[in-house]
Amino acid sequence: MGRTAWTITERRPTRQIQVGGVAVGGGAPVTVQSMTTTKTADAEATLTQIYALAAAGADLVRCTCNEEAAAEGLARIVPRSPVPIIADIHFHHEMALAALEAGVQGLRLNPGNLRKAHEIKQVAAEAKDRGVPIRIGVNAGSLHPELYKRFGGATPEALVESARMELAYFAEVGFEDVKISVKASSVPLMIESYRLASETFDHPLHLGVTEAGPPPAGLIKGTAGIATLLAEGIGDTIRYSLTADPVEEARAGRQLLEALGLRERKGLDLIACPSCGRAEIDVIAVASAAQSALENRNLPIQVAVMGCVVNGPGEAREADLGIAAGRKRGHLFIKGKIVRVVPEDEMVEALVAEAEKLVAEGVEARLAAADSGAEAEAEADRMALIDAKGVDANASETKVELIRKKYGGEHDET
Ligand code: SF4
């Protein structure tokens, strides 16, 4: 129960690094990242957000380290954080050194704005001594100006070259504990850049569409880029960049990986039919009532809300649990098998109660506890509805007959 049957098994091989205790690359489960929006100097507020992000599915959390007070904040945050902390560094290499001093488990350097070779090498040497990995975080929007000129813009080749140059500096001090990102706000550019990076490097790749904007467009852009690459086997850790509460980023990342079968289900997966002329209830209202009643209970199951009993239980037979509406009653089903018939106004309540029992007792026990007359009662409702509305609600078969009568016959063109 709770495990997606189909998954993407072919992943491009990468080497593995450790960020704190979290493995990235080399066949490790794809991880979810997000970034705090609080002032890192405010350790309490930042920790509150880190806990919320971890609860929503973040495996790793990044905090900016843009000033000395932020580094001091990190020194207080890291020991109390439930997940490894990565410091985000732009412009000031001393902030990377201060973050390492604070005990962070990872660094992100932007090669577009941290450009002095001796400073880059100093940070890499220090990270090497402390066993802390670095992400080379290339961003199309802040590409090194020389590369921009040389390649005539922020092309995939330019982004990958930026990462390659940074790797070369790291190699000079014998540092290889690296993951790479080549983000862009343009989805096609991002996809092409990561494809090229995947062909060029064997380091783990951190995927993201940068500055994707507020949901839903930001979610769509992020998913278009990240999911396309994951489906090709590219990517070892992901981040949605949304203009929203970062909890939404962590939740989206987790849900995407679960949807692709790349991570085991941790929370609820509510599916619902789109509704149609056959619907016996307001599917949208019942689905959202079920969602809000179930989502905070952390039940790792797939639950279906279906608008009619004629097609609902069959179409959602793969769901762990579901409910379908018909003749003012709800048919509660487990793995497509009807276990109870309840009054319509008790549908959501019955669904929630059964979900909790299902998680506690398991499918077999709950199927064994089914009401004995439920199947027969449900079948009677189903037949009555078919009689009332006809199996063919759209009258397709009648139309097909008509077409055959009018236009059928001998059309042998050989
Ligand atoms: S389950 Fe019933 S109501 Fe929902 S889309 Fe299918 S036929 Fe329509």
Tens of pLDDT, residues 350-379 = 999 999 999 999 999 999 999 999 999 999
Tell me the domain boundaries of the chain.
17-259, 269-389
pLDDT-based confidence at residue 255 (cuts at 50, 70, 90): very high
The H or E element that residue 79 is part of is: none
277 pLDDT exceeds 90?
A: no
Q: Which of 185-194, 307-316, 334-343 has the lowest mean pLDDT?
A: 307-316
Please spell the DSSP secondary structure of 227-270, one letter per residue. HHHHHTT--SEEE---SS-HHHHHHHHHHHHHHTTSS---S-EE
Q: Is the CB of 215 under 6 A from ligand 1?
A: no
**Does domain 17-259 correspond to CATH entry 3.20.20.20?**
yes
| Dist. CA 176–CA 379, nearest whole Å | 64
pLDDT at 4: 45
According to DSSP, the residues that pair with 34 across neighbouring strands are: 61
User: Is it true that 17-259 and 269-389 share their CATH fold?
Assistant: no
Q: Is the CB of 351 under 6 A from ligand 1?
A: no
280 CA from centroid of ligand 1 (Å): 9
Residue nearest to atom 8 of ligand 1 (CA): 276
Residue nearest to atom 2 of ligand 1 (CA): 308
| Dist. CA 2–CA 207, nearest whole Å | 26
Q: Is the CB of 304 under 6 A from ligand 1?
A: no
What is the number of the ligand 1 atom nearest to the C-alpha of 274? 5
Q: Is the CB of 331 under 6 A from ligand 1?
A: no
Q: Which of 5-9, 141-145, 402-406 has the lowest mean pLDDT?
A: 5-9
276 CA from centroid of ligand 1 (Å): 6
**Among 283, 306, 309, 381, which is best to mutate for testing ligand 1, by the most ligand atoms less than 8 A from CB?**
306
Q: Is the CB of 341 under 6 A from ligand 1?
A: no
pLDDT at 389: 64
The class (CATH top level) of 269-389 is alpha beta
pLDDT-based confidence at residue 126 (cuts at 50, 70, 90): very high
Q: What is the mean pLDDT of residues 305-326?
A: 90
Instruction: Please provide the average confidence, as pLDDT, over all residues in the chain.
Output: 92
**CA proximity to 123, closest of 140, 142, 110:** 110
- pTM equals 0.83
237-239 and 22-24 strand pairing: unpaired
pLDDT at 99: 97
Please spell the DSSP secondary structure of 346-407, one letter per residue. GHHHHHHHHHHHHHHH-HHHHHHTS-TTHHHHHHHHHHHHHHHH-S-TT-HHHHHHHHHHHH
**Among 271, 281, 308, 394, which is best to mutate for testing ligand 1, by the most ligand atoms less than 8 A from CB?**
308
Residue nearest to atom 5 of ligand 1 (CA): 275
Higher-scoring residue by pLDDT: 396, 85: 85
What is the number of the ligand 1 atom nearest to the C-alpha of 324? 1
pLDDT at 149: 95
Higher-scoring residue by pLDDT: 64, 381: 64
Q: What long-range pairs does 77-80 form, CB within 8 A, spacing at least 24?
A: 77/40, 77/43, 77/46, 77/47, 77/50, 78/102, 78/103, 78/104, 78/105, 79/103, 80/47
Q: What is the mean pLDDT of residues 244-258?
A: 95
The H or E element that residue 135 is part of is: strand 134-139
158 CA from centroid of ligand 1 (Å): 50
pLDDT at 392: 54
Token readout for 269 is: 């997966």
Q: Is the CB of 322 under 6 A from ligand 1?
A: no
What confidence tens digit (pLDDT) does each residue in 391-405 have?
A: 555 566 677 778 888
Count CA within 13 A, CB hemisphere, residue 340.
19
Residue nearest to atom 1 of ligand 1 (CA): 312
Most confident of 155-164, 256-265, 372-381: 155-164
* H helical segments located in 132-282: 145-151, 156-172, 187-200, 217-231, 246-259
Q: Is the CB of 307 under 6 A from ligand 1?
A: yes
Percent of the chain exceeding pLDDT 70 equals: 95
Q: Is the CB of 186 under 6 A from ligand 1?
A: no
pLDDT at 268: 86
Q: Is the CB of 312 under 6 A from ligand 1?
A: yes
Q: What is the mean pLDDT of residues 105-117?
A: 94
43 pLDDT exceeds 80?
A: yes
Higher-scoring residue by pLDDT: 113, 160: 160
According to DSSP, the residues that pair with 207 across neighbouring strands are: 238
Q: Is the CB of 182 under 6 A from ligand 1?
A: no
414 CA from centroid of ligand 1 (Å): 43
pLDDT at 386: 81
